[in-house]
């Protein structure tokens, strides 16, 4: 059976996962281990007037009770935001200080004020109960709307009006003029509901300080251990990079929430040095709800103008993005460069203007969550397209077709240059698979049973393969977003791939081995993937933004190019042939057209014995590469949802769900489909079930699975998945990325289908039965009045 | 959360009023009350163990009596800190009406909870509060029936 590119190879890593042998951070047990428990603010906004630690310090098993003044006193730096976004007047963003442990003021429920280190987890938690913190409550702003009101309390003194930045993109005057001349203008108010990421494995850290070497080791649940090390060293002053090793072992889901370096990791490292003990902390689910960065939370007003033929002439967008109480690591980029640069969707729109206000509130910090900005853009564009089609009496698919970009490369007015795509082909494929032609008959049949059927489209596009370093640098990024890889061919011919990408559910141990096996004609069992350890892997920017294929694998390809060149040189020398005649196939290195060959492992051995190498060649067979992408990649597709609403109860069932995706080259269709399934489940969660709710005092009301509704197996349908394929010209494998598509493309398809069924466009997520029923009643009111 | 209620207590208004101002009576009747001590004519400190949904916490707090209009009405205001579980605070306007030798007590409560209590228990706060109020008045009636002092140990 083939295990190369395109083969449905079963995941190598699953054996250990499904037999309970995965090794996660919380499984790490080291000598001298103590446990941390954090004391957190129950108030959304308050001054900390005093902290009495005496009772906690005297409690059984307590090693230390540490607070923010001690932490800052030891020179531990404030948390940073890694992307500088400027306001439209050119001023830098107004970033307030964020200390890992609050010193004098808390700004959201869950803000940490102290940490207890004790012999056992239970003792740490019991003692945390005994830390007496006195608060003086302050007024609270719990939503972006409240934060912008006149006279609203300021979350940070240096962010007047709670505005972190007032950013713009595109040409406002040209867009206004285009809208003024439009034959039809569709106006939308869209709320992108706030989500809690909920990876299955909660965040965890084990910090180990070695006083003999003055060295730190941190095991942590990270999507990017090298970035964590860099930030912990360069900004938080925990330890210089060569004295800090970060290991992200098996990680059980990230979805963006594990990109960032949180107060808990910083505190555990510092506490380990302070106490001379290894310090472990693992969040419980309640803690995850109030500390993991939330996602989305946009309120948007938009106007899209069309000419008489349904051609879009302009799109103007005004978004309020709730950033929470502090600026998380990429919180500034998510609602700006990852959002408004996709406002063109799949459409040829000449005039676009976006204005985004980033707003402080007394809530958990908000940052990238699966899709990160692109789901918000897609939801807005695709809800607007569907609504516009209904207003103009057009078929929503036809309206899209009239506006699709058809030639590439295509420069949008909002930075992006789309390099390849087949948008009409995706729609054709989706419509055929969803049997859209048969929908009227199915709708009539449903009506005969008293049910309302609806069909909704979503033609999404995303910018993935993040990202060309110079380009993101020019936009304010504090890091380059290349990737690195090392290919180590051992003397026996087996191969270790060391990659800066990090797998936390994506199946890299399988797919990365597939491309190596294919290249050198080796069984994938002979290839192992090493990742997640800064002492092993030279460097890496990690996994997010659907970048591990397009960027991470490209780095591996580049390193394999170098290995192949050296292998050919060695073989040509040993076999006394011309390098140009050497071919690698089926585990052998051959002279083309002859029976002369060396087996793969013989070349490896020759490289390491170095008894007979070409003159001047260094021994060994190990190559490294850094790959910096030339452009973003642009996965795109067409999702079609068909739903049935029970008008008596508002209960909505997804009858069928079709995804026609163009991810470029697909290495392992089974894994890719799994990624789409998972993303679509999260998209369905956002569309119908999930929503973080704060009361006006900033109290989180959805702090457990009693109140925060995660999708379960019976909430999601069987998916029909089709793959279109246009090759991405920007990277050697032609890959675009697939990790976020499901979460990006799904919500508008679902809401478009429900609003089609109930005949009312005014429906916000999550579309719970109550909301659907209420919207349906509103739609039916005029009829009832007759 | 806002809550109102009315209870008929089989005791004269003056007796009810005295009990409502007595640390011993309140300690005996407040569900989960471990300690209650008078700090002034109108102030108490209290320790109450309470369970709301999955969260059990020991609240240490202070209680103040305001707007005193003996023997007819007062406002009781308090704030309790439950450590890691969060906090609860609020007030109740209590009114006593004499009705044929018995007393009709009406109250209007406004309460807030925060922290883990709110995250896990906000859906349960109203039902829990109603249950606690019912329990308080049941205890209160028993206390008065037993002659008060007998229970105030």
* R_g (Cα) of chain A, nearest Å: 27
Is B49 in the A-facing interface, judged by CB distances under 8 Å?
A: no
pLDDT tens digits, one per residue of A463-511: 999 999 999 999 999 999 999 999 999 999 999 999 999 999 999 999 9
Tokens 């956002």 belong to residue:
A686
Residue A786: predicted pLDDT: 44
Which class for A519: exposed (0-12), middle (13-18), buried (19 or more C-beta within 10 A)? buried
Q: Which of B120, B123, B126, B128 to mutate to test the interface with A (most CBs of A within 10 A)?
A: B120
* Centroid of chain to Cα A769: 29
Across B19-86, the runs of DSSP E, i.e. the strands, are: 33-38, 43-52, 55-69, 73-81
The answer, for B113 touching chain A at a CB cutoff of 8 Å, is yes
pLDDT at res. A784: 46
Q: How do residues B48-74 score in pLDDT, each as one tens digit? A: 998 887 788 888 889 899 999 999 999
Q: Closest Cα of chain A to B25: distance in Å?
A: 29
DSSP characters over A490-522? -TTS-EEEEES---SSS-HHHHHHHHHHHHHT-
pLDDT of residue A738: 96
CA distance, residue B57 to nearest chain A CA (Å): 9
Interval B89-101 mean pLDDT: 92
The full set of domains in chain A, from first to last, is 14-138+201-252+258-291 (3.90.1170.50), 376-456+634-785 (3.30.365.10), 482-627 (3.30.365.10)
Tell me the CA distances in angstroms from A773 to A399, A717, A760, one per residue in order: 29, 21, 11
Q: How far apart, in whole angstroms, are the C-alpha atoms of residue A607 and residue A585?
A: 19
Which chain A positions have a beta carbon within 8 Å of B81's beta carbon?
Answer: 132
User: Within an 8 Å CB–CB cutoff, is residue B143 touching chain A?
Assistant: no
One DSSP character per residue, A201-213 reads SPPEEEEEEETTT
Q: Which residues of chain A have pLDDT under 70?
A: 1, 782-786
pLDDT at B52: 80
Q: How confident is the model at residue B81 (pLDDT cuts 50, 70, 90)?
A: confident
> In this structure, what are the phi and psi dihedrals at residue A169, rounded to the nearest 5 degrees?
-145, 145
Residue B152 has a pLDDT of 39
CB-nearest partner of A42 from B114, B120, B122: B114
Which pLDDT value is given to residue A144?
98
State residue A399's pLDDT score.
Answer: 98
Contact A62, A123 (CB under 8 A): yes
- Shortest distance between the Cα of B138 and any Cα of chain A, in A, equals 31
ipTM for the whole complex = 0.83
Residue A172: strand, helix, or coil: helix
A274 touches A246 (CB < 8 A): no
pLDDT for position B148:
64
Structure tokens that stand for A723 in this block: 């793959």
CB A345 within 8 A of CB A399: no
Cα dihedral: A57, A60, A63, A64 (round 10): -20
CB contact under 8 A, A109 and B123: no
- A330–chain B nearest CA distance, Å: 26
Closest chain B residue to A110, measured at CA: B115
Q: Mutate which of B118, B124, B126, B127 to disrupt the A interface (most A C-beta within 10 Å)?
A: B118
Q: Does B42 touch chain A (CB under 8 A)?
A: no
pLDDT given at position A785: 45
Chain A nearest CA to B59, separation (Å): 11
This prediction's pTM:
0.94
B7-49 pLDDT, tens per residue?
Answer: 999 999 999 999 999 999 999 999 999 999 999 989 999 999 9
When comparing pLDDT for B117 and A174, which is higher? A174
Chain A within 8 Å of B110 (Cβ-Cβ)?
Answer: no
Structure tokens at A679: 């993303």
């Amino acid at each position: 059976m083939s295990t190369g590119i395109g083969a449905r190879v079963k995941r190598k890593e699953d054996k250990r996962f499904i037999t309970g042998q995965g090794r996660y951070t919380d499984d790490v047990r080291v000598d001298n281990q103590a446990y941390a428990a954090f004391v957190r603010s129950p108030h959304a906004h308050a001054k900390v007037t005093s902290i009495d630690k005496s009772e906690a310090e005297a409690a059984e098993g307590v090693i230390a009770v540490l607070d923010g003044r001690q932490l800052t006193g030891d020179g531990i730096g404030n948390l940073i935001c890694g992307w500088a976004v400027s306001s439209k007047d050119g001023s830098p963003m107004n970033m307030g200080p964020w200390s890992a442990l609050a010193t004098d003021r808390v700004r959201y429920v869950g803000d940490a004020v102290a940490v207890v280190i004790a012999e056992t987890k239970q003792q740490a938690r019991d003692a945390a109960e005994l830390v007496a913190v006195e608060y003086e409550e302050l007024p609270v702003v719990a939503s972006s709307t409240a934060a912008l009101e006149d006279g609203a309390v300021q979350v940070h003194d240096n962010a007047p009006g709670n505005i972190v930045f007032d950013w713009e993109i595109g040409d406002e005057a040209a867009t206004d003029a285009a809208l003024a001349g439009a034959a039809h203008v569709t106006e939308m108010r869209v709320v992108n509901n706030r989500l809690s990421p909920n990876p299955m494995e909660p965040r965890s850290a084990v910090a180990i300080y070695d006083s003999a070497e003055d060295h730190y080791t941190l095991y942590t649940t990270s999507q990017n251990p090298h970035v964590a090390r860099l930030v912990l060293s360069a900004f938080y002053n925990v330890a210089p990079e060569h004295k800090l090793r970060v290991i992200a072992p098996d990680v059980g889901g990230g979805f963006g929430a594990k990109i960032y370096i949180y107060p808990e990791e910083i505190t555990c490292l510092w506490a380990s040095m302070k106490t001379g003990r290894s310090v472990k902390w693992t969040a419980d689910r309640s803690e995850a709800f109030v500390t993991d960065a939330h996602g989305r939370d946009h309120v948007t007003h938009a106007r899209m103008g069309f000419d008489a033929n349904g051609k879009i002439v302009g799109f103007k967008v005004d978004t309020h993005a709730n950033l929470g109480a502090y600026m998380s690591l990429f919180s500034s980029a998510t609602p700006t460069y990852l959002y408004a640069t996709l406002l063109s969707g799949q459409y040829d729109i000449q005039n676009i203007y976006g204005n985004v206000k980033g707003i402080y509130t007394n809530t958990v910090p908000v940052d990238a969550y699966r899709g990160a900005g692109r789901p918000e853009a897609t939801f807005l564009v695709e809800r607007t397209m569907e609504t516009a089609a209904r207003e103009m009496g057009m078929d929503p698919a036809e309206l899209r077709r009239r506006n699709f970009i058809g030639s590439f490369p295509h420069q949008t007015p909002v930075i992006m240059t789309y390099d390849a795509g087949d948008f009409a082909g995706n729609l054709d494929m989706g419509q055929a698979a969803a049997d859209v032609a048969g929908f009227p008959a199915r709708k009539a049949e449903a009506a005969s049973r008293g049910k309302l059927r609806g069909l909704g489209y979503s033609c999404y596009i995303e910018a993935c393969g993040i990202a060309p370093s110079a380009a993101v640098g020019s936009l304010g990024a504090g890091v380059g977003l290349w990737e690195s890889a090392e290919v180590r061919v051992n003397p026996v011919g087996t191969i270790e791939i060391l990659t800066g990408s990090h797998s936390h559910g994506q199946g890299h141990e399988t797919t990365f081995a597939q491309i190596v096996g294919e290249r050198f004609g080796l069984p994938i069992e002979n290839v192992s993937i090493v990742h997640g350890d800064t002492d092993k892997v030279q460097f890496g920017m990690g996994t997010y933004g659907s970048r591990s294929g397009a960027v991470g694998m490209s780095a591996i390809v580049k390193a394999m190019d170098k290995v192949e060149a050296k292998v050919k040189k060695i073989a040509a020398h040993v076999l006394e042939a011309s390098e140009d005649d050497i071919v690698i196939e089926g585990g052998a290195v051959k002279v083309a057209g002859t029976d002369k060959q060396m087996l793969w492992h013989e070349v490896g051995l020759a490289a390491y014995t170095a008894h007979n190498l070409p003159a001047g060649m260094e021994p060994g067979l190990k190559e490294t590469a850094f790959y910096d992408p030339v452009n973003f990649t642009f996965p795109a597709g067409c999702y079609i949802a068909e739903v049935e609403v029970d008008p008596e109860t508002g209960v909505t069932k997804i009858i069928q769900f079709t995804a026609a995706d163009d991810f470029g080259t697909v290495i392992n269709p089974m894994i890719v489909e799994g990624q789409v399934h998972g993303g679509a489940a999260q998209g369905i969660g956002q569309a119908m079930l999930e929503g973080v709710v704060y009361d006006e005092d900033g109290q989180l009301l959805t702090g457990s699975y009693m109140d925060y509704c995660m999708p379960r197996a019976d909430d999601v349908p069987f998916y029909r998945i089709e793959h279109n394929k246009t090759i991405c010209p920007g990277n050697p494998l032609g890959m675009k990325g697939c990790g976020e598509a499901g979460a990006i493309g799904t919500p508008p398809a679902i809401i478009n289908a429900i609003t089609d069924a109930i005949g009312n466009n005014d429906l916000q997520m999550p579309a719970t039965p109550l909301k659907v029923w209420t919207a349906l009643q509103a739609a039916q009111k005029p009829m009832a009045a007759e | 959360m806002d809550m109102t209620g009315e209870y008929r207590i089989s005791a004269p208004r003056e007796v009810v009023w005295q009990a409502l101002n007595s640390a011993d009576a309140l300690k005996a009747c407040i569900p989960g009350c471990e300690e209650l001590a008078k700090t002034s004519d109108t102030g108490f400190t209290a320790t109450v163990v309470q369970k709301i949904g999955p969260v059990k916490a020991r609240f240490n707090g202070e209680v103040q009596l305001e707007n005193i209009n003996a023997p007819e009405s007062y406002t009781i205001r308090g704030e309790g800190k439950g450590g890691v579980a969060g906090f609860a605070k609020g007030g109740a306007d209590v009114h006593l009406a004499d009705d044929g030798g018995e007393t009709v007590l009406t109250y209007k409560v406004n309460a807030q909870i925060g922290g883990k209590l709110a995250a896990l228990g906000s859906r349960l706060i109203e039902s829990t509060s109603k249950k606690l109020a019912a329990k308080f008045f049941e205890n209160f009636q028993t206390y008065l029936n037993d002659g008060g002092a007998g229970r105030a140990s």
